[in-house]
Structure 1
Amino acid sequence: MRHGLRDIIYFCLISAAAAASIFAAYSPPLGKAARAVAPRGTDSYFKAFPIFTPHILFTIFISYWIFFVYIAYFLDLLNCREWRMDVPFKDVVFDTADPHGSALSLLPLLFPDRKIDEMRVSALTQGTTNGLYKVTIDASTADAVLIKVYGDGTDITIDREKELRVHKLLAERQLSSSPLVRFSNGHAYQFISGRVCSEGDMSETRIFRGVARELARWHATLPTADPEEVLTYKPGVWSTAKKWLDAISKHPHRSQAEIDDLHEKFKYLADALLPTDVSEPLVLAHGDLLCANIIVQESGDGIDVASVRFIDYEHATYCPRAFELANHFAEWTGFDCDYTLLPKTSTRRAFIAEYLTTHAELCREHNIDVPTVNDAAVDSLMRQVDDHRGFPGFYWGLCALIQAETATGTIDFDYAGYAAKRFAEYEDWRFLGLVHISFFFSAIMAVTGRFLSSIGADVLWRSSRDLKILILLRFIRLLGYGGTTLVLALYLNALGFHDAQIGLFMTLTLVGDLAISFILTWVGDRVGVRLTAVVGALLMSAGGVAFAYFENFWLLLLASIVAVINPSANEIDPFKAIEESAIARLSTAHTCNDMFAWWSMLGMFGTAASNLLTGWLINALEDNGMEKLDCHRMIFLGYAGIGFLKLMCSLLLSSEVEQMPLQKESCSTPQSGILTPEEELSDDETAPLLDDNSSGYGAVPQTQVQVLATAQEKRLFTPASFDFMWKLSLALILDFVGSGLAQISWMTYFFKREYDMPEGALGSATFTAGIISSVLNLASSPLSRAIGQVQTMVLCHTVNSISLLMVSVPGNKYIALVIFIFRIVTREIDNAPRQAFISAGVLDHERTSAMGVVNITKTIGSCLGLYITGLFAGLDKFWLAFILAGALKLSYNVLILAFFWKRR
């Protein structure tokens, strides 16, 4: 272990002082001064005992002084800096497949000077970073030993040498059992008898008061540190978080948007919580006070506990005591993050009062002056704990992200899922902005925060301005599409076109959109998101005006193609693939599903609002004497106005929405092996875990990057992405043909013709269904996190497909209308998971092409469906179209299950 610069300077200064003192003792001036001040008769004493001259006595005194200074200094180094480790080491690897044989090889060091007749090894519950085995001899648990086996890849986040040094320090201070032996992949220590706490135990008064007392004993007994020293060179919770963040930043599979988001969160925490009061020292904290790391020894009276001990010190580090307490309270929820187990305000207050009282008593026993514990002191620490409540979620989220990438499977734990849950705690804290309010321990606020986080409201709130504008553009665009969809078939019929012509018109419209989609699939990223949005808005306005003033079939067809006036309220839009790609690019892996959920929800809300306004506006205009045809024309003029509004919003987009050139992207690939962190606890603690030259994540040479970029420019997808896309497209074509057979335009036409239902009633029905659907759509995000994206897609889509099968069955218009409303309500729930699923299934630079292929597939399927429905309508067989549509959609679900069920 290297000596710190400060230690070397201290050593040199003490040595120089010693040399100067001894030199001065033998100098003539000092001898004269000594005799001048010596008592009368001293000369005869010195003459009788010539060895005890003033020089010699002064030298002896200085030597003793120097000796004790050196001893005290080095003892301090051994206790606080821990320059050495004297726990014996045996060069063996503990094989978890043969725990008995592995324990047998360690037996001489585990039980020295003992004759052993019988040994038993039992596996205990695994943690997230270790495996535990209990070794007992001669059927007695009195001398049991615990063997801790490190999980593969955990040395990236845990400094095992530091863990052992802390363990030894704790044993010296009677806060832990003694470590016995180290081996290549773990260590062993004396077993602490007692009962391991569960999540349910923590709310018991006798348990949490015992924990508070033991935690106070830790903080009063262990050496503290000056905040400035910890922030400068000593390891602490901040340097550990920064080290983890730097390691994540170097991972090739992390998008730049995700890395930037994590750095922004860390900066926010640092600005809010970095210690400013240097008078309050930092404590050497346990750092991971889960209930499973708390051992309770019962007293037998049931009133209190005999003792509480803590185990597992791998995350011990310096931090503010407010962080230690906030972290412990957060750990009450367990690995499942059951937030109903969070301590209430009264419980938390009782815990902190017990902690402060015990801490003050122990400090006074060590002659340390501490303030009196009163209500003001308890309130002050409670506020500090509330201030820190967002930090543990971010801290453990970082740790779990690293483990998700480096764990090799020896420990069965969902690190990625756990990271998402812990990051959600940070999001709750920051989103609600309740840094000084006891939200963390308030049941009402906890429920509110979890709900807002589950529907992604916090993600939307903190998203970039460009993401918000893209979602707003979706809302504006569908606000226009909804109205034209509702009246398109009726308008064409009022112009004198028969059913077959209407079907042909809708089909040719989608064919034109297909051609545009095909072009944008290849050149979309080079055209750019901003230019695409602006051009789309201009064409939208021009097409609306053309529809209002022209009656020629072919002119209207041209206008419908360029202005994307189509029969689908589900937006068959050749331009939206580019926007979807931009949303996926600007989002992170954790926020993508939430962003698409809000993107879909607000779009559906725009469609619903448009349906309501269109239906009632037509009724109002007719009541004022306007002809039906003119009423429809007013709707298309409104569509042109909405296009102008979209143009204004499109101009607000920044250059951040554009796709970066391929050669600027990271082409790194994960390699085998990962560099272990620095094994020392020194000023290198804040260095990144993985350097640029790490063999853990090697980068592809620059020449290879250029070759790869050139090759990928010549093809649309890589082989893996191509395999994903052809399977997906095969399933989607069935779904989109089914959607084309049952477009909203045809369904409203069906209800008008079969049941003579007025436009106002249809508009109200679709509005109500659209509002419910838009809100229900947000449920897809937490559902997909719970059961998986594919599972959510299939479940929601199956329910909707069955309702579509039944639309035309009832002869009663009210029953049919209810089924129709249910169909609209459940129509889009699977959309956000599907968009996120597609985005994750291809590479970043392939997303626009992937979305374009999906859009082309959608257009082709819709064309076929619309045309077939027109034929069925001409044959007066409308009901057959809806049954066929439902059957095709159910077939889509079967293919998705067959191809992608195992993907999450």
Structure 2
Amino acid sequence: MNRYQINSSRLRGTARWLYHESGIRSVHVTGRDAWLIILARTCRMFAFGGTSLIMALFFNTLGFSDPQLGLFMTMTLAGDSVLSFVLTFMADSLGRRRVFFGAGLLMAVCGLVFFYFENFWILLLAAVIGVVSASGGDFGPFRAIEESVLSHLTNPETRSDVLSWYVVTSNLGSAVGTEVAGQVIESLKMRDGWSEKRVYHAVFVAYVIMGVANMGFSCFMTDNCEIIKPTQSMDEGAQTAQRLLSNSDEDEDVGDETVPQRKSRFTEISSTTRSIMYKLWFLLAVDCLADGMVSYTLTNYYLDRKFHLSKSKLGDLMSTNYILGSISTVFAGPLARHLGLVNTMVFTHLPSSVAVLLFPVPQGIVFTVILLFIRGGLNNMDQAPRAAFIAAAVKPEERTAVMGVTSTLRTLASLVGPSITGALADTNKFWVAFVAAGALRVAYDLGLWAMFVNVKLHEHEESGQDGSKARRVTDEEE
């Protein structure tokens, strides 16, 4: 074998190693639906990235006060939490693809309202009943259902990788959206007849387009996205008899089956699952309260007030921030395989929390930007392991409901933060929000590690390869 063949063999071996270790293979073998879900969220986060850059600045241009901005963000998150809670509990029965389509429609309609109107109460109403990201985060009905679908489509070996790429591409979408919005704003402002208000309105055209794109992606997804429930084969007469018997006060046998009494969706979540999730929900509420206080929309506003940066410069900084987050999240899957899900969540998120705590300290732009990049570069590395952790800790049929409750509680916790920060900003104590938020995030990280590092995972799952029950493992062993 000559030197060329040896080098070629080494290159192929390296490429195969990267293909497996990076998690791209896991996404590939999961199939078309995973690609469509990842692409849909990437487009959605492109729109959210643009709105996170301009939302606070747009409201300031319209003459709205800082407390009004805080109220708007709080009420928007409240509307998102209600919509997310309702749709995630209905998704499995209505059809997940139908919910995706409807949420995309709400996003497009909301973008149209922001394109045409300037009245605070009209914009607030549209944000509450529609889907708009006032903070740059994905708090609407999409994410919980998408994570449930991806967990349904994957197995314990591929799940962390697929969910990691789900986060990686969304960060890239946010980065591109923020960069494009910043450049477009500066370009249009230089044209005759383009006021600052009109420029900000124009950004919402992209929001409408991405809402329509999400509707289109849902139409190409397959039946594999839907939850498959076992059904009993019976003729029409047996079905009628079962319906009649289900109205009686006592359960009676129909063939070999017992007709179950109707229960609420929440009570169908097992007590074991709820005992785990109660602790996690409390910690997530603490974390999301902190994130709501210092969302990227409010961070942009803080940087603009402190350093008076141009919109293109601000867009460059936030775009770089998202790109760093994308690069780091590529390593979340491999780290989760080697360190465990909880260790990956804590050890990557803790430095980001410390960066938030110290963010107001520097008086110069350079060190402030360094802390911003540390925060953004590491902030999202816990997302995929967290979703994989929830999927591994609960029963497959509980995932959509559990992730829906998780998303709703996270949003409810987040909605208090903007009002607190708005009040602080109005009294020239904006910096206090970052100190308080950083301290809360550190408490979340330490509490997460203490409570969950030894939790047993994958007890309810079967191996996707041979159908045998997956090995019981602790997070440290995974």
**How does the TM-score come out when normalised to structure 1?**
0.46
1:649 deviates by 1.7
Within 2, Cα distance between the matches of 1:541 and 1:594? 30
Matched, 1:519 2:86: yes
Matched position secondary structure for 1:569 = coil
Matched, 1:648 2:200: no
Indicate conservation of the 8 Å contact 2:76/2:127, yes or no.
yes
Deviations 1:403-442 (A, max 9, x none): xxxxxxxxxxxxxxxxxxxxxxxxxxxxxxxxxx989993
Matched, 1:630 2:198: yes
Indicate conservation of the 8 Å contact 1:440/1:446, yes or no.
no
Deviations 1:153-202 (A, max 9, x none): xxxxxxxxxxxxxxxxxxxxxxxxxxxxxxxxxxxxxxxxxxxxxxxxxx
Could you tell me which residue of structure 2 aligns to residue 861 of structure 1?
413
Within 2, Cα distance between the matches of 1:467 and 1:438? 36
Indicate conservation of the 8 Å contact 2:87/2:99, yes or no.
no
Quick one: which amino acid aligns to residue 202 of structure 2?
A: M
Could you tell me which residue of structure 2 aligns to residue 802 of structure 1?
354
Counterparts of 1:408-419 in structure 2, within 5 Å, are none
Higher helix share: 2
Could you tell me which residue of structure 2 aligns to residue 753 of structure 1?
305
Indicate conservation of the 8 Å contact 2:289/2:417, yes or no.
yes
1:558 deviates by 1.9
Within 2, Cα distance between the matches of 1:618 and 1:763? 10
In 2 relative to 1, CA 839–439 (structure 1 residues): closer, same or farther, beyond 3 Å?
farther
In 2 relative to 1, CA 631–663 (structure 1 residues): closer, same or farther, beyond 3 Å?
same
Quick one: which amino acid aligns to residue 38 of structure 2?
A: I
Could you tell me which residue of structure 1 aligns to residue 315 of structure 2?
763
Matched position secondary structure for 2:380 = coil
Within 2, Cα distance between the matches of 1:758 and 1:706? 67
Question: Percent identity at matched positions?
Answer: 31
Counterparts of 1:521-540 in structure 2, within 5 Å, are 521-540=88-107
Matched, 1:831 2:383: yes
Indicate conservation of the 8 Å contact 1:662/1:709, yes or no.
no
1:557 deviates by 1.1
Within 1, Cα distance between the matches of 2:85 and 2:64? 29
Could you tell me which residue of structure 2 aligns to residue 554 of structure 1?
121
1:660 deviates by 1.6
Could you tell me which residue of structure 2 aligns to residue 259 of structure 1?
none
In 2 relative to 1, CA 889–703 (structure 1 residues): closer, same or farther, beyond 3 Å?
farther
Instruction: Note the residue ranges of structure 2 that are not aligned, 5 or more in a row.
Output: 233-252, 456-474
1:566 deviates by 2.4
- Counterpart of 1:893 (choices 445, 448, 452) is 445
Deviations 1:631-690 (A, max 9, x none): 1000012211221222222211122211122658xxxxxxxxxxxxxxxxxxxxxxxxxx
Counterparts of 1:407-446 in structure 2, within 5 Å, are 442-446=9-13
Deviations 1:273-322 (A, max 9, x none): xxxxxxxxxxxxxxxxxxxxxxxxxxxxxxxxxxxxxxxxxxxxxxxxxx
In 2 relative to 1, CA 759–662 (structure 1 residues): closer, same or farther, beyond 3 Å?
farther
Indicate conservation of the 8 Å contact 1:475/1:604, yes or no.
yes
Counterparts of 1:187-226 in structure 2, within 5 Å, are none
Deviations 1:54-91 (A, max 9, x none): xxxxxxxxxxxxxxxxxxxxxxxxxxxxxxxxxxxxxx
Within 2, Cα distance between the matches of 1:514 and 1:713? 17
Higher strand share: 1
Deviations 1:110-143 (A, max 9, x none): xxxxxxxxxxxxxxxxxxxxxxxxxxxxxxxxxx
Could you tell me which residue of structure 2 aligns to residue 482 of structure 1?
49
Quick one: which amino acid aligns to residue 165 of structure 2?
A: W
Matched position secondary structure for 1:567 = coil
Quick one: which amino acid aligns to residue 896 of structure 1?
A: L
In 2 relative to 1, CA 707–781 (structure 1 residues): closer, same or farther, beyond 3 Å?
farther
Could you tell me which residue of structure 2 aligns to residue 99 of structure 1?
none
1:461 deviates by 2.1
Could you tell me which residue of structure 2 aligns to residue 789 of structure 1?
341
Quick one: which amino acid aligns to residue 455 of structure 1?
A: S
Counterparts of 1:560-599 in structure 2, within 5 Å, are 560-599=127-166
Within 1, Cα distance between the matches of 2:265 and 2:109? 35
Matched position secondary structure for 1:442 = helix
In 2 relative to 1, CA 795–548 (structure 1 residues): closer, same or farther, beyond 3 Å?
same
Matched position secondary structure for 1:826 = helix
- Counterpart of 1:848 (choices 400, 406, 418) is 400
1:819 deviates by 1.2
- Counterpart of 1:720 (choices 259, 272, 276) is 272
Structure with greater Cα Rg: 1
Deviations 1:694-744 (A, max 9, x none): xxxxxxx99897567966857141011111110110110111011111100
Could you tell me which residue of structure 2 aligns to residue 495 of structure 1?
62
Within 2, Cα distance between the matches of 1:713 and 1:902? 29
1:758 deviates by 1.2
- Counterpart of 1:822 (choices 354, 371, 374) is 374
In 2 relative to 1, CA 724–346 (structure 1 residues): closer, same or farther, beyond 3 Å?
farther
In 2 relative to 1, CA 887–346 (structure 1 residues): closer, same or farther, beyond 3 Å?
same
Within 2, Cα distance between the matches of 1:801 and 1:515? 28
1:346 deviates by 8.3
Indicate conservation of the 8 Å contact 1:567/1:744, yes or no.
no
Quick one: which amino acid aligns to residue 505 of structure 1?
A: F
Within 2, Cα distance between the matches of 1:702 and 1:841? 33
Deviations 1:774-830 (A, max 9, x none): 122010111111010000001001011011111111111221122112211111011
Within 2, Cα distance between the matches of 1:522 and 1:557? 25
Quick one: which amino acid aligns to residue 58 of structure 2?
A: Y
Deviations 1:861-900 (A, max 9, x none): 1111111111111111111100111110111112211210
Deviations 1:439-490 (A, max 9, x none): 9993333222212211101112222111111111111111111111111111
Could you tell me which residue of structure 1 aligns to residue 109 of structure 2?
542
RMSD: 2.3
Instruction: Note the residue ranges of structure 1 that are not aligned, 5 or more in a row.
Output: 1-344, 348-436, 665-700
Could you tell me which residue of structure 2 aligns to residue 639 of structure 1?
207
Matched position secondary structure for 2:132 = coil
In 2 relative to 1, CA 500–704 (structure 1 residues): closer, same or farther, beyond 3 Å?
farther
1:842 deviates by 0.8
In 2 relative to 1, CA 506–550 (structure 1 residues): closer, same or farther, beyond 3 Å?
same
Aligned residues: 435
Within 1, Cα distance between the matches of 2:158 and 2:266? 31
- Counterpart of 1:775 (choices 322, 327, 344) is 327
